[in-house]
């Protein structure tokens, strides 16, 4: 009940406050990430360059760090900016794209856990790899089921305090105490590049207005699932799905995201096995 009310408030606040969301994201999906943040109500600023990124983060309401491509520049600016975000008190979201499959990303992503992300959003393979386990991931595709990554999610949360959002057919989101399930979405999201990246960006937008990172992560996931289902009905394939998806993200109402069937608190504590 409280959760559902908080979700509706979160979207209302996002539209009213248009938080400035700084994005350090990959060159493949940056345009889609920016458009998704705009569609949901935020103001994206792709400030990721040397001498800019770490200064800018104090102005931003939230920060997204996506390690999907790691130029020489970004290997320097990402840790500086994560550190600056922590010092400035700017909430930040880590998207560990293809961590596990690629060592430079894995090392960098693990290192910046020390700067205390508010939310870590990845697929099951990425969450398992980031927590130090061996995953079945192949590039950006997960070879693992979200529930199989729950132990890794608890371990990661223990280590850095972040809310962990595991994306999959049904997303699982935990703050180490509660696990929230957000069912739904569309398989077409797996047929376009950047759906996960855009979810990371939208999560950062919500984190810019929500006191609770758990609410931010759940709100983003629910918003995505609803927009995805509606876009799928309008689309003839993955090409037309993408513009419809942005339209539907833009059209979402606070009532939409607070519908009780969209987010369920699965259990009220870490399972015994994980304690």
Q: Which is nearer to a second copy, 40 or 163 (CB)?
A: 40
CA distances from 27 to 5, 67, 197 (A): 36, 10, 11
Cα 260 from Cα 202, distance rounded (Å): 20
| Residue that the structure tokens 């922590």 belong to | 86
Say if residues 119 and 93 touch (Cβ distance below 8 Å): yes
Q: Which is nearer to a second copy, 59 or 169 (CB)?
A: 59
Cα 173 from Cα 70, distance rounded (Å): 27
Q: What are phi and psi of 102, to 5 degrees?
A: -130, 120
Residue 15: CB minimum distance to a second copy, A = 12
Residue 245: CB minimum distance to a second copy, A = 6
Task: Name beta bridge partners: 62.
Answer: 21
SS3 call for 121: strand
Q: Which is nearer to a second copy, 150 or 223 (CB)?
A: 223
Residue 173: CB minimum distance to a second copy, A = 25
Neighbouring CB atoms inside 10 A of 163's CB total 28
Q: Which is nearer to a second copy, 234 or 264 (CB)?
A: 234
Say if residues 85 and 57 touch (Cβ distance below 8 Å): yes
Q: Which residues bind a second copy (CB under 8 A)?
A: 20, 26-32, 34-35, 38-39, 43-52, 55-56, 59, 68-73, 98, 101-105, 138-141, 191-194, 235-240, 242-251
Residue 271: CB minimum distance to a second copy, A = 33
Residue 44: CB minimum distance to a second copy, A = 7
Q: Which is nearer to a second copy, 153 or 199 (CB)?
A: 199
């Amino acid at each position: 009940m409280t959760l559902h009310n908080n979700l509706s408030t979160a979207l209302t606040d996002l539209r009213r406050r248009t938080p400035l969301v700084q994005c350090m994201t990959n060159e493949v999906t940056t345009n889609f990430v920016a458009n998704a943040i705009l569609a949901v109500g935020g103001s994206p600023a792709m400030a990721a360059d040397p001498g800019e990124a770490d200064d800018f983060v104090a102005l931003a309401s939230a920060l997204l760090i996506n390690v999907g491509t790691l130029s020489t520049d970004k290997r320097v600016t990402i840790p500086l900016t994560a550190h600056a975000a922590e010092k400035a008190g700017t909430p930040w979201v880590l998207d560990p794209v293809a961590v596990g499959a690629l060592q430079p990303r894995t090392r960098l992503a693990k290192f910046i856990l020390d700067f205390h992300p508010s939310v870590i959003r990845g697929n099951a393979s990425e969450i398992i790899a980031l927590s130090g386990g061996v995953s079945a991931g192949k590039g950006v595709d997960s070879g693992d089921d979200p529930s199989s990554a729950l132990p890794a999610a608890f371990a990661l949360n223990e280590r850095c305090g972040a809310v962990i959002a595991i994306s999959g057919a049904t997303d699982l989101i935990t703050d180490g105490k509660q696990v929230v399930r957000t069912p739904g979405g569309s398989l077409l999201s797996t047929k376009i590049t950047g759906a996960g990246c855009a979810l990371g960006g939208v999560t950062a937008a919500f984190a810019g207005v929500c006191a609770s990172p758990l609410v931010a992560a759940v709100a983003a996931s629910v918003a995505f699932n609803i927009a995805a289902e509606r876009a799928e009905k309008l689309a003839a394939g993955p090409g037309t799905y993408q513009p419809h998806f942005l339209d539907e993200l833009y059209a979402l109402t606070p009532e939409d995201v607070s519908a009780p069937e969209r987010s369920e608190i699965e259990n009220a504590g870490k399972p015994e096995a994980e304690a």
